[in-house]
């Protein structure tokens, strides 16, 4: 679908801009990310995790789209802290909001550059493809419960994707 290519291209452009600025942490938020009353302290915890894992490529999924059991990834998760689960295999739930460190960013952009056709897919699928070829070398966390909601999934904003509209 053309719109998914556009969304993927926006993510990759933002990631390239972040790399060009020399960012040590990149925090991506889509326009439909919705904050909760606990979002601030949960996001602080996420940045603490990223600081702790600065020597490893690290990805943290911040906005939940679906519950882990709904997409069959519950068995990959275990509690890491009060607000973060660690995953035994890297997996994306949604790309509405996530944070990555500079090692992950560099590795991901190399993957995209060496696989340009991957940009024909939605960014969630691009990340999951990258995770699959990364041989379990990525530290993957999901905020739990999600620090932010994916507004298109909760009905608090209208999705660009007609399949997600009610």
Q: Which of 156, 145, 25 is nearest to 82 (CA)?
A: 145
φ, ψ of residue 59 in degrees (nearest 5): -130, 130
H-only helix segments in the chain: 2-20, 39-52, 102-114, 123-133, 151-154
Angle between helices 123-133 and 2-20 (to 10 degrees): 60
Query: What's the pTM value of the predicted model, to 2 decimals?
Result: 0.87
Q: What is the mean pLDDT of each run of 10 residues along the chain (166 residues)?
A: 86 97 94 88 90 92 81 83 86 90 97 96 94 90 86 54 49
pLDDT at 166: 45
Angle, helices 2-20 vs 102-114, to 10°: value is 130
Q: What is the pLDDT of residue 11?
A: 96
Closest by Cα among 21, 23, 64, 27 to 47: 27
- In Å, the largest CA–CA distance within the chain is 43
Order of strands, edge to edge, in the sheet holding 77-79? 25-29, 97-101, 58-61, 139-143, 84-87, 77-79
* pLDDT of the residue at 127: 96
Compute CA 51 distance to the chain's CA centroid, rounded to the nearest angstrom: 17
Cα(3)–Cα(120) distance, integer angstroms: 10
**What does the DSSP assignment read for 62-109?**
-EESS-GGGGT-GGGEEE-SSSEEEESS---S-SSEEEEEHHHHHHHH
């Amino acid at each position: 679908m053309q719109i998914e290519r556009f969304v993927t291209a926006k993510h990759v452009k933002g990631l390239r801009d972040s790399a060009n600025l020399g960012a040590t942490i990149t925090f991506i938020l889509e326009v439909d990310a919705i904050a909760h009353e606990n979002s601030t302290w949960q996001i602080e915890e996420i940045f603490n995790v990223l600081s702790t894992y600065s020597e490893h490529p690290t990805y943290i999924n911040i906005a939940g789209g679906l519950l882990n059991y709904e997409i069959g990834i519950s068995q990959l998760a275990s509690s890491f802290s009060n607000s973060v689960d660690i995953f035994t295999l890297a997996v994306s739930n949604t790309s509405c909001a996530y944070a990555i460190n500079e090692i992950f960013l560099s590795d991901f952009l190399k993957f995209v550059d060496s696989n340009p056709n991957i940009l024909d897919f939605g960014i969630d699928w691009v990340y999951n493809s990258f995770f699959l070829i990364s041989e379990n070398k990525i530290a993957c966390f999901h905020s739990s419960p999600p620090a932010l909601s994916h507004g298109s999934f909760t009905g608090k904003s209208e999705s660009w994707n007609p399949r997600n509209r009610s």
